[in-house]
Amino acid sequence: MRKLKIMSSLLATILALGMFYSCDDNSEVDPLLDDSELIAAIATAANRQDISTNALPSNALTTLEDTMTFITNSVLAPELGYEVRTIVQRGADVGESSSAYFNLDGRELLTRNAFRPGDRRIRNGQRNGRRARGLRDCFDFVFPVSLTMPDASTITLESDDDWSLIREWYQANPDAEGRPTFVFPFEVTFGDETITISNEEDLESAKSNCEVDRRRGRCFELEFPVTFTMPDATEITLASRDDWSLIHAWYEANPDATDKPDLVYPVNITYRNDSTITVNSEEEMRAARAICEVDRGRDRCFQPVFPLSFTMPDGTEITLASRDDWQLIKDWYEANPEAEERPDLVFPIEITFEDGSTMIINSEEELQEAKRNCG
């Protein structure tokens, strides 16, 4: 059975990459290229050409959709795939650039990069696309905050809305190299606690604590204490949020370790509506994260109007009559623990904005545009 699954997976990979290709084109794609090799082929292709963002496949745009970053340029390597450059436009990693790669169908190509909390080192001036995108801070900046830009000018942010000034600067300076630097000291808040960031080391420490605690990317929080099994089989128990530094310290003491720590189950998680559930396995945790993935509208300037329908990875459809029905999505993932794809929203839908106005959304592209307008 395991051999059958492996062969089926390989066949799917071959079909996804394209089994038939032109015999007289030297830029043809080898259908057995893995993601790492295809990324390298796209990055070094001699016939690369700049394209507009709108020319990217819609599912690639969906993957890239994130108010944390903006696209600076897109490149097509014919018969291979796409490279998309992005820059982080807000938060502690502001100005950091990365490249994301997609095959011709718009599937993101992923390398087998190791996980190391606190390891934010940049290779060749860039971080891997997925690691660089969406690393939201687990703290809030206390404004005003000033940044020195690569041309030595200074931008002062008076509120959270002013992060858009960073994007505008990069758009006005497309050839700029380097990142902004924060003007120290400034303050950040972790929950109810305010901390002064006096130098770059303080900022790196704050970011490291967020690396394994990206709670803003989810709609729930872990309840402490929680325990992790480290790559050497030792266990570390965190009594509170402050103890994330113990994980960071372990990796500092074990620089050759590349595997991520394993959360010891069961754990309790608390949703934003203060409800608490017990998660008993990695499969149940994946289901909880999937619910957050389809419920990200709560972080936007609008909310969906119920009922909403979703097409699940097996082709079945689930209709949610109200927000309380997200449990139906969770139940499906618990019953299908091997499923990793997120559900597809059935269009059209209606959304309502903070001012009470509404809009009909007819496609994924229109939904992404509405989300971008919230940034």
Does residue 191 form part of some domain?
yes
Q: What is the mean pLDDT of residues 129-157?
A: 80
Coil, strand or helix: which one is 236? strand
pLDDT above 90: percentage of residues in the chain:
21
Q: Is the dihedral of CA 158, 162, 167, 172 positive or negative?
A: negative
The C-alpha atoms of residue 109 and residue 327 are separated, in whole angstroms, by: 31
Q: Between the CA atoms of 123, 128, 131 and 132, what dihedral angle is there, to the nearest 10 degrees? A: 80
Residue 308 lies in a domain: no
Judge whether residue 317 has pLDDT over 50.
yes
Highest mean pLDDT among 61-65, 74-78, 224-228: 74-78
pLDDT at 219: 66
Give strand pairing partners of 314.
none
CA dihedral defined by 279, 280, 281, 285, rounded to 10 degrees? -10
Q: Are strands 97-103 and 127-128 parallel, antiparallel or unpaired?
A: parallel
**pLDDT tens readout for residues 150-167:** 999 999 999 988 999 999
DSSP characters over 166-224: HHHHHHH-TT--S--EE-S-EEEEETTEEEEE-SHHHHHHHHHHHHT--GGGSSEEEPS
Top-confidence range, 112-116, 117-121, 131-135, 207-211: 207-211
Q: What average pLDDT does this structure show over 187-209?
A: 80
In this predicted structure, what is the pLDDT of residue 67? 58
State the average pLDDT over residues 349-362: 83
DSSP state of 240: S
Longest dimension (CA), the chain: 65
Domain range enclosing 182: 33-213
Is residue 228 in a domain? no
Instruction: Give domain status of residue 172, yes or no.
Output: yes
Question: What residues contact residue 123 under an 8 Å CB cut-off, 6+ apart?
Answer: none
Residues 6+ apart with CB under 8 A from 101: 35, 38, 39, 42, 43, 81, 82, 83, 84, 108, 109, 129
Pairwise pLDDT comparison (147 vs 356), residue with the higher score: 147
The domain total for the chain is 1
Q: Is residue 368 situated within a structural domain?
A: no
The answer to whether position 222 is within a domain reads no
Q: Quick check: is 261 in a domain?
A: no
Which of 94-98, 244-248, 332-336 is the most confident on average? 94-98
Of 124-138, 254-268, 356-370, least confident by mean pLDDT is 124-138
The DSSP symbol for 225 reads P
pLDDT at 137 over 50: yes
Report the SS3 class of residue 314.
Answer: coil
Is residue 5 domain-resident? no
Please report, for residues 106, 140, 266, 290, 341, the alpha-carbon distance to residue 283 in angstroms, rounded to integers and kept in the order given: 27, 31, 12, 11, 13
pTM of this prediction? 0.49
Contacts of 179 (CB under 8 A, 6+ apart): 94, 95, 96, 150
**Is the predicted pLDDT of residue 298 greater than 50, yes or no?**
no
